[in-house]
Every structure is written in C-alpha cells, then in structure tokens.
C-alpha cells in the first residue's frame, strides 16, 4: 500500500522513513512538510495539496507536533484516508475523541501509536505480571532534553507537554503491562521560569489493589540516561530497563537478547497498522494521554531555573 508521511522532522527521518522502507506492507509515496524532504519521494507543502493531488494514497502517517495534528488528521479523515498518529495522538483529549467520532462517521481506520509499547521486552513483562499481586511500581524516566530534542521549541509551548513528551512513553508501557487500571492522585511539576511546560514531574497513582505506584520524569539528566520501570510483586521483582529493551526478574537478565532491541518498535507499529487496515476499525487507547492531562490539571507547579538551550 502507498502511504504518505506528514511532517518530516527528526522522528520521521530517524524512525518512520526507515520503518516504511523495511515494511512489506507499505511504500512511501509522498511527504508533506514545509521544510523537510525525503530524497526521491514526491513532496507537498500542505496536506490539502496532497489530498487533492493523490487520491490513490489511502493511508497517511502523521508526525506533526501535537497542536497542529488535529487539523491535519481531520482533513485526511474527511477525505476518506486512513490515519496513523504519532504519539501523543493529540494536544487534548477532546481532540482525540473528535477524531474517533470523525473516523467512525467516515468509516476509516484510526490508529494512535505508542511506540514504547513495542519495545522488545514489554510483552514479556505484561505476561509475567498478569497473575501476580503488585506491591509497588516505580517509574524513573530521566534524560537530557538537549540531546533528544535539540531546537524543538514547540515542546515548551502550551500543548507541547514538556517532559511528558518522553514521560508519556513510560505511561504507555505502564498502562500496557499492568492488569489493573490506575489513575493519578497527585503531581508536582517543575516548570522553568521562562517556559510554559514542565521540565520535571513527580506523580502518584491510585491502584485498586493498594499498590504504591509512582513516577519521576526529569529532562535535566546529564550523563547516563535512565528509562526504568520496577514492579515489586508477591512473587518477585520485575525491572524493565532501557525503555523496555531489557528485562530482569529478581535481578537476573532475560537470556534472549535482540541485537538492536529498540529497532523493532516502529516496524512493529507499521505491521499493526497493516493488520488494522485488513480488519477495519479504530485503535485509540487514550489511557497514557489521560494520565498526562490529569497531571497537568492536578499538578502543583514549582517555578525552577530558566531553561536555556
């Protein structure tokens, strides 16, 4: 199937373009971007131009920042195109629900992707936790914003989510691997004096079985980057490391190792999109987005030092 990629920035070039190139299901037929291009691929500057000129392209993958994403997705759906959304699926929950309603009306597929759920050991973690009683779960997600988001000022503006841009990856894993749903009870947000979105956050959650569940997100991390989820249960301790690429049970590393365990995330997303197209329907799990919105609503804000890139 021909597919169009909307928004040619860092994530598109680093992940989506190689994943599509390796896909047995899709061929990159066009792009839409005001600045970015993919060599050898037809390009447009506005999505309306693509939709008018290439009626043969029935699937679009949106890699735009969250704020402009809704308008582009709505145009594509109204034009009868199937839509794949980079995370987060929108800037607000209302937008996400509006897209679901629109997709149902136009009978097209809609897929909110959570790439971290496709990390190598996430499925194994989910299976291991399925029959165990959780005592506590702690997320530690610390990285250097200068390394991973250079020059991306949109993340500091309203709707950009700040540290929740990576933090929502952790929340997408947590909501995938836990047998029980959780919800936020309190949050503390560190917001730079010169920015609109947080650079750090600490979250606490309610768990229906009484387990202690918390998360720490920080974008000021220097040196080692940390993406860890530790789950203590009545039958041992599970630790996901490196964003789900590695797993330990009671400190023992899983013996089966992938040469490049994170490389499969986006290829697996495109394979899932292909399956969704074959069966029809909508795949829009909004639980990670709900946690972020709750944190922004309930969070106590601390003003911290200005962030200067």
Catalytic center residues = 87
Q: Supply 20's token pair.
A: 């599509």
Instruction: Please calculate the CA angle 147-148-152 and round it to the nearest 5 degrees.
Output: 105
Q: What is the spatial distance between Cα 292 and Cα 110, in angstroms, rounded to a whole number? A: 21
Q: What is the spatial distance between Cα 181 and Cα 141, in angstroms, rounded to a whole number? A: 20
Tell me whether strands 42-44 and 27-32 are parallel, antiparallel or unpaired. Answer: parallel
CB environment 196-212: b (16+ within 10 A), e (fewer):
ebbbbbbbebebeeebe
Tell me whether strands 236-241 and 246-249 are parallel, antiparallel or unpaired. Answer: antiparallel
Provide the 10 A C-beta neighbour count for residue 261: 17
Tell me whether strands 252-253 and 246-249 are parallel, antiparallel or unpaired. Answer: antiparallel
Paired residues of 207 in beta bridges: none
Provide the 10 A C-beta neighbour count for residue 256: 9
Q: What are phi and psi of 278, to 5 degrees?
A: -75, -30
Q: Supply 182's token pair.
A: 């959780």
At which residue do the structure tokens 């070039």 appear?
Answer: 13
Write out the DSSP string of 190-258: EEETT-SS-SEEEEEEE-TT--EEEEEEESB--SS-EEEEEEEETTEEEEEEGGGTEEEETTEEPS---
| Torsion sign across C-alpha atoms 78, 277, 59, 5 | positive
Q: What is the spatial distance between Cα 76 and Cα 92, in angstroms, rounded to a whole number? A: 19
């Amino acid at each position: 199937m021909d597919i169009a990629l909307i928004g040619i920035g860092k994530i598109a070039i680093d992940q989506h373009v190689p994943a599509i190139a390796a896909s047995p299901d899709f061929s990159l037929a066009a792009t839409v971007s005001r600045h970015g291009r993919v060599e050898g691929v037809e390009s447009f500057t506005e999505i309306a131009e693509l939709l008018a000129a290439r009626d043969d392209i029935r699937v679009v993958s949106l890699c735009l920042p969250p704020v402009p994403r809704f308008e582009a997705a709505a145009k594509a759906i109204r034009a009868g195109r199937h839509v794949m959304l980079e995370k987060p699926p929108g800037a607000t929950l209302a937008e996400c629900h509006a897209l679901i309603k629109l997709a149902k009306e136009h009978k097209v597929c809609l897929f909110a992707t959570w790439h971290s759920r496709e990390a190598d050991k996430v499925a194994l973690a989910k299976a291991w936790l399925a029959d165990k009683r959780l005592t506590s779960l702690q997320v530690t997600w610390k990285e250097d914003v200068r390394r991973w988001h250079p020059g991306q000022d949109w993340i500091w503006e309203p709707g950009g989510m700040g540290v929740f841009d990576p933090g929502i990856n952790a929340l997408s894993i947590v909501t995938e691997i836990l047998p029980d749903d959780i919800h936020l009870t309190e949050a503390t947000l560190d917001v730079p004096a010169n920015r609109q979105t947080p650079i750090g956050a600490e979250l606490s959650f309610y768990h229906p079985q009484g387990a202690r569940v918390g998360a720490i997100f920080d974008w000021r991390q220097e040196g080692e980057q940390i993406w860890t989820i530790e789950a203590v249960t009545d039958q041992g301790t599970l630790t996901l490391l490196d964003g789900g690429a590695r797993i330990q049970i009671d400190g023992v590393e899983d013996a089966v190792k992938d040469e490049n365990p994170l490389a499969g995330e986006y290829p697996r997303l495109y394979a899932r999109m292909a399956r969704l197209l074959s069966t029809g329907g909508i795949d829009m799990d909004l639980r990670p987005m709900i946690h972020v919105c709750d944190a922004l609503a309930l969070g106590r804000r601390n003003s911290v030092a200005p962030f200067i890139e």
